[in-house]
Structure 1
Amino acid sequence: MKQRGQVVIDKILDTAEHLFYTQGYSNTGINQIIDEADIAKASLYKHFETKTDLLVAYVQRTHERWFSRLENSVTKVEDPQKKLLAIFDYHIERQEIRQFGGCPFIKVNDEAGTDDPRVLAQIRLMKQHSKEFIKGLVADSGHKKELTDEELTETIYTMLEGAIVTASVFKSASPIQSAKHIIQKLI
């Protein structure tokens, strides 16, 4: 059973996650979070001294949850090359769930990545973690070696990032599916 403090933290973070993603960090006020989480102002400030502290916690928790789901999705696939393609399928699924709203980390970076070095540091950690995950899958894939492991890792990572942004613009999975198809030819 969760401690009362953790229940409050989860309510705050759940509310912040929804609001930061759907309407943006800058457009979300502390009072709106307090109202929608149905908590006392003192409760929010007990756990998060500033809005930026809340943003950093949101990025950390979102990353932990996002990455856990990614790992679970990829580990279900047995073929090492298809694990690389499963990354694209996972991103398609996440974008469909989020109605092609884009990457939550890029959104935060666009709004607050330069306001506080802790925010940018957390986003960089998340993106680096993602790239390292891809790198491990590439190393284990037995790909055609038309590209080095480093080149293929960078190609997959960059294509995926660009495809997610493009999918959010066109509100379609097609860019991510196209990137997957191209990578399939390289592996």
Structure 2
Amino acid sequence: MKQRGQAVADKILDTAERLFYAQGYSNTGINQVIEEADIAKASLYKHFETKEDILLAYVQRTHELWFTRLQATVSKVEDPKEKLLAIFDHHIERQKVRGFGGCPFIKANDEAGTSDPRVLAEIQQAKLHSKKFIRALVVKSGHKKVLSDQELTEMIFVALEGAIALASVFKQPGEIQAAKKIIQKLI
């Protein structure tokens, strides 16, 4: 059972996650978080000194959950090449869940990545973690070697990032599916 303090912190982060993603960090006020989390102002400040601290915790938690979900999806696939393609399927499903709202890290970066170096560092860490994960799968994939391992890693990473951004613009998975088909030809 969660301790009471952690349950309150989670309630704050759950609310902040929903609000920051849906309406943006800048458009979300502390009072709105307090009201929608149904907590006392003192409870919020007991866990987070500033709004930026809430954002940092949100980005950190989103990173942990993102990676756990991605690993779970990829681990269900046996074939090493198909593991690479499963990354695209995972992101299609995540974008469907998020209403094609785009990448939460990019959204946070757009609004707060330059105002707090801790937030920028955490976002960069999440993106580097993604690239490192892709790289490990590329190395094990037995791909056609049309590209080097490093080049294929970069291609997958950039194609995926761009496709997620475009999926948020067009509100559908077509670009992610197209990127997957291109990568499929390279592996």
Which TM-score bucket, shorter chain as reference?
Answer: over 0.9
What is aligned with 1:180?
A: 180
Distance in 1 of aligned mates of 2:55 and 2:117: 12
Displacement of 1:40: 0.5
* TM-score, reference length from structure 2: 1.00
- 1:20 maps to a residue whose letter is F
Equivalent AA in structure 2 for residue 29 of structure 1: G
Q: CA RMSD in A?
A: 0.3
What CA deviation, in whole Å up to 9, does each residue of 1:40-91 have, x standing for no partner?
Answer: 0011001000000110000000110111000000000000000000000000
Q: Distance in 1 between matches of 2:126 and 2:66?
A: 10
Offset at 1:20?
Answer: 0.2
- Counterpart of 1:135 in structure 2 is 135
Separation in structure 2 between the aligned mates of residue 65 and residue 9 of structure 1, nearest angstrom: 16
Task: Name the structure 2 match of 1:97.
Answer: 97
Query: What is the aligned partner in structure 1 of residue 13 from structure 2?
Result: 13
Gaps spanning 5+ residues in structure 2: where?
none
Amino acid at match of 2:74: V
Which residue of 1 is the match for residue 65 of structure 2?
65
Q: Which residue of 2 aligns with 1:123?
A: 123
Residue aligned with 1:144, SS: coil
Q: Which runs of 4+ in 1 moved over 6 A?
A: none
- Aligned counterparts of 2:28 and 2:174: Cα–Cα separation in 1: 31
Q: TM-score, normalised by structure 1?
A: 1.00
C-alpha distance in structure 2 between counterparts of 1:105 and 1:125, whole Å: 10
CA deviations 1:122-157 (Å, max 9, x no partner) are 000000000000000000000000100000000000
1:20-99 map, 5 Å: 20-99=20-99
**Alignment: residue pair count:** 187
Q: Which amino acid aligns with 1:106?
A: I
